[in-house]
Amino acid sequence: MTLRMNRDRLSLTETHNAINDKNTNRRILIIDDDAIICEIAESILAESGWVVAHAYSAKEALASMTKNSWPVVLSDVHLPGDSGELLRILRLDYPQAQVVMITGDPTIASMRQALKAGAYDYLLKPVRREELLRVADMALDKFELQSERDRLERENTSYRMQLEELLGRKTEQLRDSELRYRILFDHAVDAILLVNPAYATITEMNGTASRLLGRKPFDIQGTSIRDYVGKQLDPCLESEGDDYRIWRINELMVQDRDLNERMTTATVNRIRLGSETVLQIVARDASDQNELAQRASLMELELMSEQRLANIGLLASGVAHNINTPLMGIYGLAQVIKMKHPDIEDIDGVIAQVERINGIVRNLMWKSRQEQELAKQDIDLNVLLQEELRFLEADMEFKHNVDKFFEFSPDLPPIWGRYSDFSQSLMNIIRNALDAMHETTHKQLHVSTSKSDDEISIIIRDSGSGIATEHLPQVFEPFFTTKPAVGKSDNGEPTGTGLGLSTVQKLLAPYGCRFDLQSKVGQGTAFTLFVPVAQNQPTETELSEMQD
């Protein structure tokens, strides 16, 4: 009667409701086809605080395990169906559950087989109360220990995976950082070298340093820094101690493998890299800076020269104007003397010379006015060339020692432009031709104009020294010149700033002009300027403004 009441009290439904309390692991499933055995075991365990449920077959047991995942299972060895298969399934699907086998017909073989199959322990029927509670508590302890171990293993696995992921990210970041450092290092504008101070050997360098020293990196690494800078860095190399120090060297002469020397400005740092002390040399090639300074100086001289010429032009214009008054007085007086004394033969010579002076003065005043005129106008290139060449007659070398051959086409159309753009450009070209003939015995200058299709061609040919083939592509580059720099001429040799032809190109580029340069060393140069006609005609607006 009591067993029946206990069985009713601990029915499967009531037990399943009871075990919904997740605050305890003291839960056990009893599997036995004998109801009395189940009732006894349930009563003993329930009185000790266990949540108990029972199943009468392997099928019922698996259904209950699927629903509740019991931490401890007390199972009869002999059940309807295959009880050995039940134990195998429990160990496979619920590896943490601890299975205690019970039997009323024990043998050593069956006990060994059950333990081998994964049972936690083995109980004999009839089961004593103390033994049942002891084994159940021990099985639960093992379940909790194993659950804790599995939890820790999962946490450890998760932590390890996080660490591996973090390490992977850090490694990738470090790799990216090293790559960025290497890119910055290799592409730095300054030459950077790392030197072992104990042996003065170069351990590492960037691409700029390799180019500065004129060798491949593998040819430089391991060589002595003294091979390139001599003893200039000895105070840095011989300095003792590991403390950070810095030296600034304004003039460090570096010699490449071809024994070419380049001036650099350098900073030398003594730094720690890991466990070793190295010298970090950061050098900047100062040759380019010096060249820029020289170019700036040349440009300044050129501008000063242009300013002086402008001032001289204004002065010449004023002088010419002031000469005109007394010159006209002399001319008038000579005319009067000729009328009163026609027998004086030399008076015609005086009148001729006065007229010659007057022509020079008129040319000077006309050129001065044209050079100062900023507005565009119709330009007859024949007249412009003739006036410029006539103006050069003031140069005694040009007047007496140069054979001049001029051929001007009579049908040149006018060009619309600024007079000074063309006069300065053509004068630069002609002066280059005269400079090229400085050392030539027979000096010949040919100037000719012609028209074909829609272009005017101006050819200026000299019998000078010519231009080397490798220099021809550079003649229009600013500051390129084969002449001595201003102030460094020997024996009156013409000097240059390298701005003449670059100025020609700049002034005439808006007119769409083209250039052709033919030259042979020792035979002279022919410079041809092509001026488009249709492109350089006044617009209707400009014509209207002229008429107004």
Is the pLDDT assigned to residue 530 strictly greater than 90? yes
Q: What is the rounded distance in angstroms from the CA atom of residue 106 to the CA atom of residue 101?
A: 10
Burial (CB count <10 Å: 0-12, 13-18, 19+), residue 186: middle
190 touches 283 (CB < 8 A): yes
Q: What is the rounded distance in angstroms from the CA atom of residue 310 to the CA atom of residue 385?
A: 20
Six-digit token string for 329: 């007085």
List, for residues 93-141, the tens digit of each pLDDT value: 888 889 888 877 666 566 667 677 778 887 887 888 898 899 899 989 9
List, for residues 164-174, the tens digit of each pLDDT value: 888 888 878 77
Least confident of 103-107, 366-370, 404-408: 366-370
Write out 240-275 in H/E/C secondary structure: CCCCCEEEEEEEEEEECCCCCEEEEEEEEEEEEECC
Helix (H, G, I), strand (E, B) or coil at 338: helix
Is the pLDDT assigned to residue 350 strictly greater than 50? yes
At 19 the pLDDT is 42
At 15 the pLDDT is 44
350 touches 323 (CB < 8 A): no
At 8 the pLDDT is 39
pTM: 0.41
Six-digit token string for 2: 């009591």
Burial (CB count <10 Å: 0-12, 13-18, 19+), residue 498: buried
Is the pLDDT assigned to residue 14 strictly greater than 50? no
At 265 the pLDDT is 87
List, for residues 44-97, the tens digit of each pLDDT value: 999 889 999 989 888 888 999 889 889 999 988 877 766 568 888 888 888 888
Q: Which of 94-108, 113-127, 403-417, 530-544 is the most confident on average?
A: 403-417
Q: What is the rounded distance in angstroms from the CA atom of residue 333 to the CA atom of residue 324?
A: 14
* Sequence-distant (≥ 6) Cβ neighbours of residue 186 within 8 angstroms: 206, 207
At 515 the pLDDT is 92
* Sequence-distant (≥ 6) Cβ neighbours of residue 247 within 8 angstroms: 235, 236, 267, 268
At 382 the pLDDT is 92
Is the pLDDT assigned to residue 360 strictly greater than 70? no
What is the mean predicted confidence (pLDDT) over 363-387?
Answer: 74
What is the mean predicted confidence (pLDDT) over 519-548?
Answer: 85
Burial (CB count <10 Å: 0-12, 13-18, 19+), residue 235: exposed
53 touches 75 (CB < 8 A): no
Contacts 24+ apart (CB under 8 A), 5-10: 6/39, 6/42, 6/43, 7/35, 7/38, 7/39, 7/42, 10/42, 10/46, 10/52, 10/53, 10/54
Q: Which pLDDT band, with edges at 50, 70 and 90, does 2 fall under?
A: very low
Least confident of 91-95, 512-516, 517-521: 91-95
* Sequence-distant (≥ 6) Cβ neighbours of residue 508 within 8 angstroms: 421, 422, 425, 529, 531
List, for residues 252-308, the tens digit of each pLDDT value: 888 877 778 888 888 998 888 777 888 889 988 876 665 555 555 555 555 554 555
CA triple 402-404-410, angle to 5 deg: 160
* Identity of residue 255: Q
DSSP label of 192: E
Q: How high does pLDDT run on average in the chain?
A: 79
At 294 the pLDDT is 58
Percent of the chain scored above 70 by pLDDT? 77
DSSP element (H, E) containing 427: helix 419-436
At 381 the pLDDT is 92
Six-digit token string for 211: 């180019």
At 108 the pLDDT is 59
For each of the domains in the chain, give its residue range(s) and CATH number, in order of start.
Answer: 2-153 (3.40.50.2300), 188-285 (3.30.450.20), 287-372 (1.10.287), 376-548 (3.30.565.10)
DSSP bridge partners of 457: 450, 530
Backbone angles phi and psi of 53, in degrees to 5: -140, 160
Helix (H, G, I), strand (E, B) or coil at 10: coil
Is the pLDDT assigned to residue 28 strictly greater than 90? yes
